[in-house]
Structures are given as structure tokens and as C-alpha cells.
Amino acid sequence: MSKPLLKVTNLEKKFPIQRGLLKRTVGHIHAVDGISFELAEGETLGLVGESGCGKSTTARLILRLLEPTSGEISIAGKEISSLSREEMRQERRNTQIVFQDPYASLNPRMTIRQIVAEPLIVHGMAKDDTDPRVDEMIELCGLSREFGNRYPHEFSGGQRQRVGIARALVTRPKLVVLDEPVSALDVSVQAQILNLLDDLREKFGFSYLFVAHDLSVVSHISTRVAVMYLGKIVEIGTRDEIFNHPHHPYTKALISAVPLANPRQEKIRKETRIVLTGDVPSPANPPSGCRFRTRCWKAQDICSTTEPALVQIGGSQAACHFPE
């Protein structure tokens, strides 16, 4: 692993729960609870987990679209959580984001060219939307430059997502956060967009933080994978290690839920599938000890008293008292 581009240390985010006329704080939602990971240059880290486990919050914290409660985030050796507003604004050319919903993430009053040009203009890298880099980026993302003068409502979801990607990549950022970039698209279009992202990464050497809940998408694009559960990373490792030798019971359960294309393998999967019972506990009141213990078939007394730390097991790190 080369030197880390992104280094997250003990990142934490609490949202206050307020009630009543006086907005009294009655508790906290612990959306992200002390997570640490690194992302090397040119690497794609997949961040997976169920809805509400804190993956999108993590993505927004890294871009400082949300202010972290505590913890450190350093990008290319620069600590960003202590930057002033203006310093952070200038730093944003190095970190960009692609949003989940291509229908909501493009301003309906701006043309495609204006949308793609905006990051260049706000960073003083271009004077207006006639800059050649704009058309070049639109074409690199698989759209014709004739579409530059059109408005977002004239495009399909997949085409709009290409515009969103062009906007994110036009400043040639070092780190690109992809917040469920394909989950709002049809499966056939998903594959096109994933291939486009992969091609662009190879060409320009971007590093991706890929947030998703779809494991097959994550296994397609990631070099490393981190699995989150209730605001914590439960397992992190290379893609092959996570998918072939999962150590944490939660990872195992997630992987066994992915359908397989081969009917013979699919039959075996169905027979041995681990079906988790119950729901994810409330992040306002997480279980003591290991957060997964309420749904884990291996849970013992120690799981409710001691929180397991992330430790090296085989080729990956897992946080479990009884790893596989």
C-alpha cells in the first residue's frame, strides 16, 4: 500500500435529538461512532452497510458538508477538520462528490455546460463555461458536446449521472466520494456508469471512496472494502479477502444474501444462507458491548460487556470476539 491519501482517525458524529418548544436536547443519534480507515492513492475503497448505518454521513463528514463531532480527517497529509471556511472552500477542488439522485443533484436552471463548468469557475480555474476542459470532460463522460446547451430535464437518469460525474471530475480532484452513485439507476445503466468510473480512474488516477449498499456493485469496483454496522466499521480488508474469507458474522450474513448467477451455486447459497433476525437497533440507544450481538447467532456473555476492537485476522481486520 502506498502512502495514504485519506486518513480518517476516530471520526465521530452525533446528531442531537431535540424535543418540545424550547428544543431541549433529549439524546443523541450516534450516526458515526469512532471510525478509522485509510485510503491509498489510486485505490477504491467500498463502504458498505445497511440503510442508516452511517455510510452517507461518513461521506459527508469527509467532505465537511457536515461538521464532525470529533476525530481527524487528513487528505494528502493536510488536516481538513481545522481549516477555516475559506481555506476549506479552496481545498474542495481536491475532493469532490457524486450524489445518489441524479434528478435532485443538478440545478434545473443551468445548462449542462454551466453545471460542469461551475467547479472550475468557483476555483478561478476557468473564466466561463466556454473553457475547453468543460466540453472535454463532458465527452470523457460519454456525452456529446452538442448536449452542453441543454437542460437537465431533457436527459435520462443515466445521462444525468454522467453529468454529475463530469462535474465532480472536472477539477481533477485527488479524492472522489461516490455516494451511492448507481443505486437510483437501472441495472443495465449501472454497469455503464461503473465501467465509466473505472475507466476514468485508470486514466487519471483518481481515488474513490465508494459508498453503497449493493455488495455486487461494491465487489465490481472496489480494491478494498469496509463494512459498517450502526456507526462502526466491523470489518475492513481487501475485496478478495472480504468476499472469499469473511471473518465477521455480519459480513458473512451480508455476503450470503447476495444472489449468485450460477444456478448450482445459488442452490447451495439458498441452503446455507444466513438470515438475520430482528432489526437494526436504534442508533440513539445502541446495545452495550458489541453492537451486532442482538442479531448475532454466536453472541456470548462477553459480547454484551466488552466492545471488540478491530484486530488483524488473516488478510483483513475484524471487530469480533469470535471471528470465523
Partner 1 sequence: MSLDPALNVEGDLPQSLSYWQDVRKRFFSNKLSIVGLSMLSFLVLIAIVGPIISKWSTDGMDSHILTSPFTFGHWLGTDDLGRDIFARVTTGIRLSLTVAIVVTTISVFVGVTLGGIAGYFGGIIDTIISRFIDTWQVIPFVLIGFAIITVFGSSFWVIVAALVFTGWYSTTRLFRASVMQVKSLEYVEAARASGAKTSRIILRHIGPNAIPPIIVVLAFTIAGSILSESIYAFLGVGFREPTPSLGVMISSSRNFLTDHPFVFFIPGSILVVLTLSIVLIGDGLRDALDPKLRGLK
Tell me the three cell numbers of residue 82. Answer: 481545522
CA-wise closest residue to 40 among 168, 199, 175: 175
Choosing from 12, 38, 50, 101, the residue that interacts with partner 1 (CB under 8 A) is 101
Distance of alpha carbon 49 from the chain centroid: 10
CA-wise closest residue to 115 among 88, 101, 135: 135
CA distances from 52 to 11, 29, 155, 233 (A): 17, 11, 30, 13
| Contacts of residue 260, Cβ cutoff 8 Å, sequence gap at least 6 | 266, 269
Q: Which stretch binds partner 1 (CB under 8 A): 10-18, 83-91, 246-254, 310-318?
A: 83-91
Are the beta carbons of 209 and 197 closer than 8 angstroms?
A: no
Interface mask (CB under 8 A) for partner 1, residues 43-82, using x and -? --------------------x-x-----------------
Tracing cell 466499521 back to the chain, one arrives at: 233
Least distance in angstroms from the C-beta of 155 to partner 1: 9
| Contacts of residue 306, Cβ cutoff 8 Å, sequence gap at least 6 | 289, 290, 321
Q: Does 119 interact with partner 1 (rule: CB under 8 A)?
A: yes
Which residue number, 125 or 258, has a Cβ lying nearer to partner 1?
Answer: 125
Choosing from 40, 191, 255, 276, the residue that interacts with partner 1 (CB under 8 A) is 191
Q: Does 128 interact with partner 1 (rule: CB under 8 A)?
A: no
Choosing from 6, 75, 134, 143, the residue that interacts with partner 1 (CB under 8 A) is 143
What is the spatial distance between Cα 287 and Cα 303, in angstroms, rounded to a whole number? Answer: 10
| Contacts of residue 51, Cβ cutoff 8 Å, sequence gap at least 6 | 213
Least distance in angstroms from the C-beta of 97 to partner 1: 5
Host H or E run for residue 74: strand 70-75
Q: Does 217 interact with partner 1 (rule: CB under 8 A)?
A: no
Q: Does 255 interact with partner 1 (rule: CB under 8 A)?
A: no
Q: Which stretch binds partner 1 (CB under 8 A): 44-52, 68-76, 91-99, 289-297?
A: 91-99
Q: Does 306 interact with partner 1 (rule: CB under 8 A)?
A: no
What is the spatial distance between Cα 7 and Cα 166, in angstroms, rounded to a whole number? Answer: 25
Choosing from 51, 67, 146, 262, the residue that interacts with partner 1 (CB under 8 A) is 146
Least distance in angstroms from the C-beta of 15 to partner 1: 15
Beta bridge partner(s), residue 35: 11
Least distance in angstroms from the C-beta of 261 to partner 1: 20
Q: Does 20 interact with partner 1 (rule: CB under 8 A)?
A: no
Tell me the three cell numbers of residue 244. Answer: 472469499
Residue 21: CB atoms within 10 Å: 5
Q: Which stretch binds partner 1 (CB under 8 A): 109-117, 214-222, 242-250, 275-283?
A: 109-117
Q: Does 122 interact with partner 1 (rule: CB under 8 A)?
A: yes
Least distance in angstroms from the C-beta of 234 to partner 1: 28
Distance of alpha carbon 101 from the chain centroid: 14
Which residue number, 96 or 222, has a Cβ lying nearer to partner 1?
Answer: 96
Residue numbers at the binding site for partner 1 (CB under 8 A) = 63, 65, 89-93, 96-97, 99, 101, 104-111, 118-119, 122-123, 142-144, 146-147, 149-151, 153-154, 158-159, 164, 167, 191-192, 195-196, 199
